[in-house]
Structure 1
Amino acid sequence: MTTTSSAVKNSSNNFLPPGLVSNLQEVLLKRKGADDPDPQSQSSSAAKPPTVNDESVEPSSSSASNSGRVDDQPDSDTSKPVILVTNGDGIESPGLTHLVQALVCLGRYNVHVCAPQSDKSASGHSLTMRETISVSLAEIDGATAYEVSGTPADCVSLALSGALFSWTKPLLVISGINRGSSCGHHMLYSGVVAGAREALISGVPSLSISLNWKKDQSQDNDFKDAVTACMPVLEAAFGDIEKGVFPRDCSFHIEVPTSPLANKGFKLAKQSLWRSTLNWQAVSSNRHPSSGRFMSNQQILGMQLAQLSRDASAAGAARRLGTQKKNVEVVESVGVAGKSDSNRTLRYFRLEFLDKDQGGEDEDLDFRALENGFIAITPVFPQSQVESETQVAASDWVSRALKVGQ
């Protein structure tokens, strides 16, 4: 893994904010242990992150007067800033587990977790509007953690509302680490990116992290290496937020290459047009091989029964049970609600993502940087960044359309 300051790509066409670069270079130099040539002590230095003066950090804002909130666990140290962690893969995923462990080991922050109880990795920025979500305590050493039956955006919105925790504005929201890339158009589908985006919309600094997981090559321990590889960026973000110089108008999505510790350094990237082909396949049943990846059989059964109990009709029950089984949809009518239909037909389809390269040849695009072995850092904006030519073309079309309609 590249650990020198030269790993931070910084040119006229490809640069990180100057303050973030300075902070990142400082962290990398300290981790390198330049003053100690001994490899063993160098490794020890890399394992111990640089300290930050906690006395200069104001405690996260409180909302203790909210009588409807769930009380925090009593061992929280309110003198430390709060870091909120969520993800898209579910609270039991190894990416979240290793990230939280590393943050807890820093010893400088209160680590709080509010994450989906099951895999919501392709849920986009959806919110639960017409159903009640459930929240329960989860056991994660050193952290105050809750698992939520909703989406990543639900989790962050709930956590920032003051109804669940005694604070409403953490120092930083970190979403991840997700299993699989979220480059290009996948950011639109990504639950892990949506978790960070929801924080940004609420005015809270945020980062999201994905690992470029490859089915027959990657292992769960790669998430631990991904945390190690990303820690200089996290440290730089902590420092800049505490100084008040972290960018306010965007979040950052961090893509970690398949072999995290063999990365070539950090590179600012641009969101590409890379996308996958959505491939729907007819299947014989509604069973999905990955539906219980992070859940026990008992949890899956409990979720199905709870979901079914909320459905008053046969049609609603069929649709919602299909939703619980990832990427499966009932596509034909099941008859009039509440009435049996002996002639009804249920057909099942499963969605698969097939790689399709439409991203271009620019080396600064997110997926190109990732393929080339860099840790790609892509700014994420709360609204679409429309190019001037596109804006002009859109304005011209609207003008012509309105004239035709008159």
Structure 2
Amino acid sequence: MLIKCLELQQIVSLWLYLGHLFSWSKPVLVISGLNKGTTCGYDTLYSGAVAGAREALICGVPSLCISLNWEKNVSCESDLKDAVTVCLPLIHAAIRDIQKGIFPKNCFLNIGIPSCPLTNKGVKVTRQSPQRSSLSWQAVSTNKNPSAGHYMSNQQSLGIMLAQLGRDASAAAAARRLNSNRKNVEVESVGVAGKFSSQQTIKKYFRMELTEKEQQDIEEDLDSRELEEGFVTVTPLSLYANVHMEIQSSVSSWLAIALSGDQ
């Protein structure tokens, strides 16, 4: 059974499937994707594709998140088909081992496909890297030229986000977020000088763009590094943040001092 997301985000589609359409029967496997854009590093915190796979795991269903390292002006639509071809052995193996009861428990698999899927160097199990994306904001015309709406087409994982700034910002902007299927990020800032009057409202619009990723990956077996090297990356992600023992210890020590009253 294939549930295709149209106007709904992945996680909402999953709720609809598991909670209403087929509430009496769980699927064998949930595949969230294919996402056009990477979900490496801290991008997993913002990715709708990752959220869909995570929600499936919360509901007790094994899941995969699959993303293609889409490169602007380089990648093409046929690369998506090639990425599916590359993933099929992993998908078939997952279904087989779920039915045997030997598929990894308590995690979902975040699978990254390199920009040239058919020439990949193989499959590697990786760790989540500390990579993060840098964002820039650009003012756009108050006429909201449609050309300004074509932003970051290779990063659908970020979805549609609409922020509203200013005490007197109207609720209409929030309604547009719910009804719009555009991939641009709009921030509506409403500034009012002096006493408020609807005739005096000044609106400014900004477009968010993804710039170069901040690369901090010097270690091997990190998802973003191995993906750039041309490997298919398989990163197990848990529902829980894995805090290193030394951090746990330092927080325990700090908390003991902070609450002791001996300042």
1:185 is the counterpart of 2:42: yes
Q: Which amino acid letter does the alignment assign opposite residue 316 of structure 1? A: A
- Find 1:321's aligned residue among 176, 179, 203: 176
Task: Quote the offset at 1:172 in angstroms.
Answer: 0.2
Which of the numbers 111, 132, 135 marks the counterpart of 1:254?
111
* Residue number in structure 1 paired with 2:158: none
> Does the alignment pair 1:151 with 2:41?
no
Query: How far apart are 1:315 and its partner, in Å?
Result: 1.0
**How many residues matched?**
240
Q: CA deviation at 1:334?
A: 7.3
Aligned twin of 1:143:
none
Query: How far off is 1:112 after superposition?
Result: 2.4
Q: Are residues 1:231 and 2:231 paired?
A: no
- 1:35 equivalent in structure 2: none
Matches within 5 A, 1:127-276: 150-161=8-19, 163-165=20-22, 167-276=24-133
State how far apart, in whole Å, the 1-side matches of 2:10 and 2:177 are: 20
Cα deviation, 1:377-398, whole Å, max 9, x if unaligned, reads 0011111111111111222222
CA contact (8 A) 2:129 2:223 kept: yes
Question: In the aligned structure 2, how far is the partner of 1:218 from the partner of 1:185?
Answer: 23
In 1, Cα distance between equivalents of 2:169 and 2:134:
32
2:136 and 2:208 in contact (8 A); partners too: yes
Alignment of 1:379-398 (within 5 A): 379-398=236-255
User: Quick check: 1:315–1:333 contact (8 Å CA) kept in 2?
Assistant: no
Q: Does the 8 Å contact 2:169/2:188 carry over to 1?
A: no
Counterpart of 2:116 in structure 1: which amino acid?
A: S
Paired AA for residue 155 in structure 1: S
Provide the secondary structure at the position in 2 that maps to 1:377: strand
Q: 1:389 to 1:213 in 2, by over 3 A?
A: same
Please, which runs of 5 or more residues in structure 2 have no aligned partner?
154-167
The aligned counterpart of 1:127 is none
Change (3 A) 1:197 1:374: same
Q: Using the alignment, how far apart are the partners of 2:18 and 2:120 within structure 1?
A: 34
User: 1:332 and 1:214, CA in 2 relative to 1: closer, same or farther beyond 3 A?
Assistant: same
CA offsets, 1:294-341, max 9 Å, x none?
A: xxxxxxxxxxxxxxxxxxx98101343267353101122579xxx951
Distance 2:92 2:11 in 1: 24
Question: 1:28-39 residue pairs with structure 2 within 5 A?
Answer: none
Gaps of 5+ in 1: 1-110, 119-149, 294-312
Q: Assess if the C-alpha contact under 8 Å between 2:192 and 2:202 holds in 1.
A: yes
Q: Which has the higher strand share?
A: 2
Q: Which moved more, 1:357-366 or 1:249-258?
A: 357-366
Question: Deviation of residue 402 (structure 1)?
Answer: 2.1
1:290 matched residue in structure 2: 150
Classify the secondary structure of the residue corresponding to 2:137: strand
TM-score relative to the length of structure 2:
0.84
Larger radius of gyration: 1
Q: Percent identity?
A: 45
Rounded to whole Å, the distance in 2 between the matches of 1:171 and 1:389 is 38
Distance of 1:334 and 1:250 partners within structure 2? 49
Work out which structure has the larger RCO, using CA pairs closer than 8 Å and 6 or more positions apart in sequence: 2
